[in-house]
Amino acid sequence: MHYIKSNKKKLFVLLFVCFCVITLSYLQAFSVIPEKLILLEGEEYIYNFKSFYFVNIKADNRAVLKLNNTDIKAQGNYLELISPLSFKTQKRGSVKLNFKAFGVIPLKTMQVDIIPSKKLAACGNTIGVKIKMDGILVIGLSEVDKPDGSKAAPAKDGGIKTGDVIYEVNNKKLSGIKDLVEQIDNCKGDKLTIKFKRGNEFASTTISPIEGVNDKKYHIGLWVRDSTAGIGTMTFYDPETHGFGALGHGITDADTGTLMPVNSGEVMESNIISVRKGEQGTPGELKGIFMENKPPMGNIFANAECGIYGQMFSAFHIDKNRLYPIGLRGQVKVGPATILSNIEGNKIEEFNIMIEKVSRQSFSGPKGMVIRVTDKKLLNSTGGIVQGMSGSPIIQDGKLIGAVTHVLVNDPTRGYGIFVEWMLKNINEAPVKQEAG
């Protein structure tokens, strides 16, 4: 009896050890397979996942990619992850690869986005940015004084919140604040049906305007905004399509933090007239003026998480020495690099930086790398990274790899950069028109 119990105990320990090994291996394989990859068209990439798992990989789009130089089959390809895996891109597009351990156990789904392999012009020039919103942004709520001396908050009572974007009143599309005021003025106290967007969801509500005590006009208790303007830096320009990307981050409302949806927008030439030097705890700023005496340079079509995108009206003058191939995040490394920036007049200069940290996260965002300014001239002029430099292209090993996005407030010599592949992914999701003019 004792012998049987001893064997059962050993068997239990063995099974427990096997379970732990399999679980840890599964977790290791899950962690090393990224959720997203961005690759260049017509290139081959080798990935070593170093997992002993035997997997089946299926694709929802088998035309854009080969695995180990073999077409992806309808029933999937059976491969060993202990050996390096080759991804050979065939054409631009997207594919979801579904990994199953031993062909049956769901492991991970990886999205691969294939973008054009081309040379882009690294810019670095500051631009004036004007955006007219698609809709009207609610930046605040207020109370309205009623004739009987009491107060009411019609918009708040109707469920409107700060950060909502209003699109329609009584089924009429609003093109700006003027249209909203007109609808309220003409309502004669009747209820208003308001269609708005909160996050990614549309909703509607009914609001009863109140006649003001002092002006005898109707009010609903809203503070709103429908446009914005500022200075930023252009990151890249595509000579083939005349498309451009700038800033490296989206334009958000200062009061609400809401990403401002674009109805229309334009970029203007600008001139830097002065610099407020950055200090610990106080970010600096490039102070520039819009060249209002010159026509706009181009249109803005999209304001996304990773930048603003648009198209120039005519061919943009580019320095042939600043045409660079695209460097993907897997090619970015800790070490020296340079940025192109415009901190005086309209002169673009190249400054030395050090990339101190490279994040390998598979999700997009403006903080893909930590950078530090090492260039003495730039440090003397600006103290490091200042507002207005967002979008300054980052060059490493002869490739355009990203753009400056944010400064570290407590250390203006350091800041964040975004990988250029994330900016290009965004421009593919909201493509610019293909003809200029």
Q: Which residues are designated catalytic?
A: 249, 375, 390
Residue 429: helix, strand or coil by DSSP? Answer: helix
SS (H, E, C) 184-253: HHCCCCCCEEEEEEECCEEEEEEECCEECCCCCCEECCEEEEEEEEEEEEEEEECCCCCEEEECCCCCEC
Residue 352: helix, strand or coil by DSSP? Answer: strand
CA distance 404 to 92: 27
CA distance 307 to 71: 35
Q: Which two tokens stand for residue 150?
A: 């009491």
Element (H, E) at 324: strand 323-325
DSSP β-bridge partners for residue 355? 335, 371
DSSP β-bridge partners for residue 94? 113
Contacts of 434 (CB under 8 A, 6+ apart): 241
DSSP-derived secondary structure for 42-86? T-EEEE------EEEEEES-TTSEEETTEEPPTT-EEEETTS-EE
Backbone dihedral angles phi then psi of residue 306, each to the nearest 5 degrees: -105, 15
